[in-house]
C-alpha cells in the first residue's frame, strides 16, 4: 500500500518547483490531489501528467491571497473527492526586496499577504474540513531565511517566513488534541524556475556562491523537498507536530 492511499490533499503553488514535485509525489503515493496556482496552463499539464500515471488530480487556478480561492479549494476537495486530509500550503514569492528603508508599505503588505496571510486563509478553511474527517496534516513552506539566517534586503520575505513558523506552532497547539498535526518545512536554496540564481541577468558566479553557502555545496532538487513534505503529510510522522523542519543542506550551520 502507498503512503497516502485513500487520502485527499490540497497543494498550493503547484505550477512549478516544490509544489509541482510534491503534487506528483502525493499522487504517486495514492492521494487524490487538488492543485492550485496562478497559471492555468501549467496546472492543466500537471493534471495531465498525474492522470497519465493513473493518479487523480483536479486544478483550481486562482490567487492564494483571496479568501474566496481558499474556500474554492476546500469545496473542490470535498465535492470532487469526498473530503480533505492533507494540505501543503506552499505558495509564496520573494516579494519586495531592497533596503528596508526603501520598501513601500504596498510591497510589504503584498509580500506578507502572499507568503503568510495566504497560508492562514488556507488553514482557516482547511481545518474544519479535516476535523470532519477526524484529523489531518497541514504543512507550510517557510524558509531558513528569517529563522536561522538573516540576509540584507529581505526584510519582508524574512518576516513572512518567520511568521509561518509562529503560525505552525500556534495551530499545532490549538488542534493537536483533535487529531490535526501542523508542521513547516524550511528549505535551503532549491533549483526551481523561480530561484534567483536561474534568472536571466543574474551576476556570473551567483549560482556557485549560493551553492557554496550550503554544507552539501549544492542546491536541493524539488523532489528532495517533496520527499520531506510527504513524510510530514503521512502517518510515518504520526507523532511529529509543531516542528519547523530544516531541509536546507546545512546552510544553517555552515560558516565555510
Catalytic residue ranges: 157
Beta bridge partners of 187: 247
Are 49 and 24 a contacting pair, CB within 8 Å?
A: yes
- For 4, half-sphere exposure in the C-beta direction (CA atoms, 13 angstrom radius) is 31
**What's the angle, vertex CA 235, arms to CA 114 and CA 67, rounded to 5?**
25
Task: Report the Cα–Cα distance between both ends of the chain, in Å, rounded.
Answer: 44
Tell me how far apart the alpha carbons of residues 150 and 146 are, in angstroms, rounded to a whole number: 5
Beta bridge partners of 184: 140, 244
Tell me how far apart the alpha carbons of residues 103 and 107 are, in angstroms, rounded to a whole number: 6
Nearest Cα neighbor of 187 from 217, 153, 154, 145 is 145
Amino acid at each position: 500500500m502507498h503512503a497516502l492511499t485513500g487520502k485527499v490533499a490540497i497543494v498550493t503553488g503547484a505550477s512549478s518547483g516544490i509544489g509541482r514535485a510534491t503534487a506528483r509525489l502525493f499522487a504517486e503515493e495514492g492521494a487524490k490531489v487538488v492543485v492550485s496556482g496562478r497559471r492555468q496552463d501549467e496546472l492543466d499539464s500537471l493534471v495531465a501528467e498525474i492522470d497519465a500515471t493513473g493518479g487523480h488530480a483536479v486544478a483550481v487556478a486562482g490567487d492564494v491571497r483571496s479568501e474566496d480561492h481558499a474556500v474554492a479549494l476546500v469545496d473542490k476537495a470535498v465535492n470532487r473527492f469526498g473530503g480533505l486530509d492533507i494540505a501543503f500550503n506552499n505558495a509564496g514569492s520573494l516579494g519586495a526586496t531592497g533596503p528596508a528603508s526603501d520598501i513601500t508599505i504596498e510591497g510589504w503588505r503584498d509580500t506578507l499577504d502572499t507568503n503568510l496571510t495566504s497560508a492562514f486563509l488556507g488553514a482557516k478553511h482547511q481545518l474544519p474540513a479535516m476535523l470532519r474527517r477526524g484529523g489531518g496534516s497541514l504543512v507550510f513552506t517557510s524558509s531558513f531565511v528569517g529563522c536561522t539566517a538573516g540576509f540584507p534586503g529581505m526584510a519582508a520575505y524574512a518576516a513572512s517566513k518567520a511568521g509561518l513558523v509562529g503560525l505552525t506552532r500556534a495551530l499545532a497547539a490549538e488542534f493537536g488534541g483533535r487529531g490535526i498535526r501542523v508542521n513547516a518545512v524550511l528549505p535551503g536554496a532549491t533549483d526551481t524556475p523561480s530561484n534567483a540564481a536561474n534568472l536571466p541577468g543574474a551576476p556570473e558566479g551567483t549560482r556557485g556562491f549560493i551553492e557554496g553557502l550550503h554544507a552539501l555545496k549544492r542546491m536541493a532538487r524539488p523532489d528532495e523537498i517533496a520527499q520531506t513534505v510527504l513524510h510530514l503529510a503521512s502517518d510515518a510522522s504520526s507523532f511529529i507536530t509543531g516542528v519547523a523542519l530544516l531541509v536546507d543542506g546545512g546552510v544553517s550551520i555552515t560558516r565555510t
